[in-house]
Structure 1
Amino acid sequence: MNSAVTGGDDPAPPPPGGVLWSLAGDVRGLLMLPAALALQVAHPAVGAGVDEHSVFRTDPWGRGERSLRSLQLWVYGGEAAAEEGRRLRKLHRTVRGTDTRDRRYHALAPENYAWVHATGFPVYRHAARYLIRPMTAEQERALYREWLQVGRILGLHDRDMPQTTEEFWPYYRRMLAEEIEATAVLRELVAVDATVPPPDRGPAAVRLLLRSVWPVLLPPSARFRAFLTVGLMPPDAREAIGLPWSPVQERRLRRLCAVIRLVVPVLPERLRYLPLARSARDAWRSGRAGAYRGLRRKPGGSARSV
């Protein structure tokens, strides 16, 4: 394994055709992201960093768009993936301060940076059960291997992350027991009365229309976001943070996800996959040399897609 991320060859993105290629670009992945973000900011240091240094309150739509594009580059960016990882590390070099437990933090400290990345694995695994289908043990191991590869792109060393799923779960449970809490940022993310400015992207006429109807649209959209954020978070994380979740809510979530599981697979690919993912998949399938140089899938190297 590559334990160094500076100097030498750049770490490669996850393999085309792997589990992440099926998950990360699927439009259903958009529904999983709020739960992952909430679990990230439940860490006191991460929550403090976002609280003090992020523009998520003043520019939530722009931040969301940039974060989504960054995630897509990690998986589908080919040779641009490592460059995006370097950009993110540079961006976070000055993010430091004191967390809610009066501890000094730095965004790139391995214990903080690793947690931000680690949350994707349990959330993808859990949410896929609802929105796609449960993963096999082989798929879970493949997903974790590929997620580790993304970690290398982001600048994590192998020593910073558990290297197998068997090692991951004790680490994860320890973090839930010792670190995770309902931070101020997390409470904002799951608030049903959140104050969010209207979208500022798209044609001027659409922005004007949204601004005019936003007071009506915001309350139900905030409730729906909170519902998905809490519902698609792994139950043990939900319990550790102290987020309430009722049997009635669980039944509603299961009914909603059953409809999504039926509808999304029959959509044309241009609607089912996000643009960058769709372009990467097209390039890989057409065999265009240079699009994913050096990323040919090795026999037996990846489990089948979920």
Structure 2
Amino acid sequence: MTQDTSETCPVTSGSAPDATVVAAGCPVTDGGYDVPPEALGPDSLTWKYFGQWTGMLQGPWAGSMQNMHPQLGAAVEQHSIFFIERMPRLYRSVYPIGGVVFDGDRAPRTGAQVRDYHIGIKGVDDQGRRYSALNPDVFYWAHATFFKSTLLAAEWVGGGLTEDQKRQLFDEHVQWYRMYGMSMRPVPQTWEAFQEYWDHMCRNVLENNWAARTVLDLSTMTKHPSLEWIPDRVWQLNLFVMQRFFNFTTVGLFDPAVRELMGYSWSPRQERAHRSFGKAIYRITRLLPKRMLMHPRKRSAWDRATGRLPADSPLVETPARHLPPVEYRDNPHYYSPKV
């Protein structure tokens, strides 16, 4: 990927009047479509498997896979504050990202908000290559990792999927992506085409770059503001244990080509242990109340869908403890609701 070949067009949804983005197939209305797309609902498999707290086991996998994309990795390195507030950023990001799935008729608005956080995130990487967070190929890659993580969650800690269920989840991920109002050009047309796309990305496009390596290195992760009471030596011991644990969970989820790219080895014994761990998590979670396993944005959506809450109840936003640092809260690149 040597250059950004996308077009420039105005965006009006939630942005300043003079804001422009770099994106082919640009939004044609405030929402990015002529008619608002139909949101996913409680009858979908995505509602079943996405938005579970067990998904946190895949956090380093998702972050590193996204950042391995040359353009996305450069954008994170040059624009993101993720590495100075990893834990708050991870926890708060799940709210709007989950909302694109769970917000019902408000999901297109949530999708447009998530899209517009990326307006103006563009530049040139250290190899002289142009990048834009709203290049359709880059934006879809991030979404593809969310879809793939849903598949992995269902197969690893969710009891497994049939081939028909995989195809249904593929169709649902296309419907999900429409919420962003982005060009549909990069989206594979079939489940088989997606598998070819994913393999091509892993083998030929992804890079072992600074942003991906830093996501996988937990040694410099700062404490969540709510954990400042933990002594530094205890925190460092915690990071050491977390590093070993997440190396195991993350490398086991990587495609073989990605393991090779990032310099990891993986033995048949490790593979068996990884699968056994996933089965153990599945058995344990089956004994727990379903609501306990749901992220608050998902749980509130189920409550609206089942009548426990009025259909027009306010959307659940991140609590204050997960907000970005004070100096960034008025920056339009960051999700920072008034709480």
TM-score by length of 1: 0.84
Q: Secondary structure at the match of 1:105?
A: strand
Which among 224, 228, 234 is matched to residue 255 of structure 2?
234
Which among 41, 46, 49 is matched to residue 23 of structure 1?
49
**Distance in 2 between residues matched to 1:291 and 1:166, nearest whole Å:** 39
**Distance in 2 between residues matched to 1:281 and 1:13, nearest whole Å:** 14
**Distance in 2 between residues matched to 1:287 and 1:156, nearest whole Å:** 33
Deviating above 6 A after TM superposition, structure 1's stretches of 4 or more consecutive aligned residues are none
- Judged with a 3 Å threshold, the aligned counterparts in structure 2 of structure 1 residues 73 and 186 are, in CA distance, closer, same or farther, namely same
**Distance in 1 between residues matched to 2:66 and 2:287, nearest whole Å:** 33
Amino acid at match of 2:305: W
- Judged with a 3 Å threshold, the aligned counterparts in structure 2 of structure 1 residues 58 and 227 are, in CA distance, closer, same or farther, namely same
C-alpha displacement at 1:241, in angstroms? Answer: 4.4
Match of 1:301 in 2: none
Q: 1:34-71 deviations in whole A, cap 9, x for unaligned?
A: 31221111111111111111111111122112211122
Matches within 5 A, 1:1-306: 6-99=32-125, 101-191=127-217, 194-201=219-226, 207-209=228-230, 213-286=234-307, 290-291=311-312
**Distance in 2 between residues matched to 1:207 and 1:290, nearest whole Å:** 38
C-alpha displacement at 1:215, in angstroms? Answer: 2.3
**Distance in 1 between residues matched to 2:147 and 2:156, nearest whole Å:** 15
C-alpha displacement at 1:138, in angstroms? Answer: 1.3
Q: Secondary structure at the match of 2:208?
A: coil
Paired residues in the alignment total: 285
**Distance in 2 between residues matched to 1:61 and 1:287, nearest whole Å:** 31
Q: Secondary structure at the match of 2:185?
A: helix
Amino acid at match of 1:110: P
C-alpha displacement at 1:270, in angstroms? Answer: 3.0
Q: In structure 2, list runs of 5 or more residues that go unmatched.
A: 1-26, 314-339
**Distance in 2 between residues matched to 1:291 and 1:170, nearest whole Å:** 41
- Identify the range of structure 1 (133-142 vs 30-39) with the bigger mean alpha-carbon deviation: 30-39
Check conservation: 1:110, 1:160, Cα contact below 8 A.
yes
Check conservation: 1:72, 1:277, Cα contact below 8 A.
yes
Q: Secondary structure at the match of 1:97?
A: strand
Q: 1:7-29 deviations in whole A, cap 9, x for unaligned?
A: 54322322222111011122222
Check conservation: 2:100, 2:111, Cα contact below 8 A.
yes
**Distance in 2 between residues matched to 1:263 and 1:41, nearest whole Å:** 32
Q: In structure 1, list runs of 5 or more residues that go unmatched.
A: 293-306
- Judged with a 3 Å threshold, the aligned counterparts in structure 2 of structure 1 residues 272 and 7 are, in CA distance, closer, same or farther, namely closer
Q: Greater relative contact order: 1 or 2 (C-alpha under 8 angstroms, separation 6 or more)?
A: 1
Check conservation: 2:32, 2:182, Cα contact below 8 A.
no
Check conservation: 1:123, 1:233, Cα contact below 8 A.
no
- Identify the range of structure 1 (254-263 vs 42-51) with the bigger mean alpha-carbon deviation: 254-263
Check conservation: 1:73, 1:84, Cα contact below 8 A.
yes
Q: Secondary structure at the match of 2:84?
A: coil
C-alpha displacement at 1:174, in angstroms? Answer: 2.1
TM-score by length of 2: 0.76
C-alpha displacement at 1:210, in angstroms? Answer: 6.2
Q: CA RMSD in A?
A: 2.4
**Distance in 2 between residues matched to 1:144 and 1:119, nearest whole Å:** 12
Q: 1:94-124 deviations in whole A, cap 9, x for unaligned?
A: 1112235431011101111111111223333
Amino acid at match of 1:65: Y
Check conservation: 1:32, 1:124, Cα contact below 8 A.
no
**Distance in 1 between residues matched to 2:264 and 2:65, nearest whole Å:** 11
**Distance in 2 between residues matched to 1:263 and 1:210, nearest whole Å:** 31
- Judged with a 3 Å threshold, the aligned counterparts in structure 2 of structure 1 residues 291 and 19 are, in CA distance, closer, same or farther, namely farther
Amino acid at match of 1:142: Q
Flag the structure with higher helix content: 1
- Identify the range of structure 1 (10-19 vs 101-110) with the bigger mean alpha-carbon deviation: 10-19
Amino acid at match of 1:260: I
- Identify the range of structure 1 (113-122 vs 232-241) with the bigger mean alpha-carbon deviation: 232-241
- Judged with a 3 Å threshold, the aligned counterparts in structure 2 of structure 1 residues 144 and 240 are, in CA distance, closer, same or farther, namely farther
Amino acid at match of 2:125: D
